Chains A and B, each alone.
Chain A
């Protein structure tokens, strides 16, 4: 494997032995910004979860260009998957990101708390550290979850629909944070989205996911070349 952070080799993923995507092969390079695009139910989230090691592969393999135990990937789930019943402040949610490198039974100390505070600062939410996580707007929650992912000090960040259901202003704020992480800190970013919207200028590659396939293309080809046969172009257009 070259300098790639992720190398998917003839991967098949699905549920209960039934493949959703088959023969998927592509790499994610360091500092690369990749968008997984495709219609609802095409398997974008399934593919992302496979990259995270959350969904077992039916076939093929994924090689990681980093030690997952030393530097686990930054994971930003869809915020609606987290239960609002937990009484947590924004800071407490971010602090959870530091647990990645904390050994079992060792509580978070001043170092971890300072790291969590810096990560909140990075997403411009220091002022809301004590705010109840569930009392925040959708865009703010998403930025808190990005800060939580940053607290694990990852080399790659994988996000599941980070701009879904947020207004244009929040979408722009999230996009700015991700673009800055990629541009200024060299962090590789992989995000699932229905449309690119504000983030389009930062995206370098697109993985089209549809009809059981996932094909990677340079982002420059967006709009100039037709999506692969059978792939839906509407989501990209919708984001413009």
Chain B
């Protein structure tokens, strides 16, 4: 209990890291619900990897053009943000264009994207002599290194994304559920799709920089998949996913701190345990209902 009080205390040494962690846990599921509803879950694996490739490329390019970058400086984070956002948005828009033209299969495109991004990340890192442990940490998402400046930037960006998601929820739902109807209604479906992909790109970029590709993917997918088992309405689905993400992020942080575990895996592991419990309970309830009606 005292440890819990220590963590929530404003003066806690890792207070910024805790807030960043909970923010990623709460906001990633809000865009993650669209991954689940549009059946694009594997895109949630590929895009964080693309983001990582963008970070590695940005450092590599900076070294080529300007020279070695200094670690622990704000400019390093800025380079990372630029690389991550550019790559994620570029690939997201390219994938959406391919989707509209219907060339190839979705799985093939996403699988290829993941493979290329993973390979590119390693190659860019290998070609940058400064790609040492610090940069690897940044690629993994060095949440413990979150500064108050980077946290403030993240809070601003995430708040903007949440406001846009909330304001446009009607349009995003319509184009996701019945794109044809949206077109019949004269809505610019392609524009709304592009907006959604833009939001996804921004969230993934900042999520990867803060928590790393694995934790970002985990929060994009696991809370919405869990809530889908119990939610009966869109609003509860979205808000429930965000709440679950925030709570598991906080609890994961506590476990990581208490038992000296790596943060990202602790958070995703905990979210997965919740998924397992909810799946088991809903499965048992379904079985019981069938047994009663038989």
Interface residues of A, Cβ cutoff 8 Å to B: 49, 52-54, 68-69, 72-73, 75, 77, 81-83, 85-89, 92, 96, 99-100, 102, 104-108, 132, 148, 152
Contact = CB atoms under 8 A, between A and B. Distances in A.
Given A73-B184, A75-B184, A87 B39 contact: no
B43 to A, nearest CB: 15
Interface string B218-246: 00000000001001111011000000000
Interface stretch (B73-81, B110-118, B168-176): B168-176
Residue of B171, B180, B187, B237 with most chain A CB atoms under a 10 A cut-off: B180
Contacts of B184: 52-54, 72-73, 75
B278 to A, nearest CB: 14
Interface in B2-46: 36-37, 39
A125 B56 CA distance: 56
B185 interface: yes
B186 A69 contact: yes
Contact of B178 (A77, A92, A102, A105): A77
B177 interface: yes
B173 A96 contact: yes
A107 B228 CA distance: 23
A87 B186 contact: no
B interface secondary structure, majority: helix
B170 A107 contact: yes
Contact of B170 (A69, A73, A85, A99): A99
A96 B178 contact: yes
B37 A85 contact: yes
Given A53-B183, A87-B237, A96 B177 contact: yes
B234 A92 contact: yes
A75 B39 contact: no
Given A81-B180, A83-B39, 5 more contacts: A69-B186, A86-B176, A104-B187, A105-B167, A105-B168
A152 B185 CA distance: 9
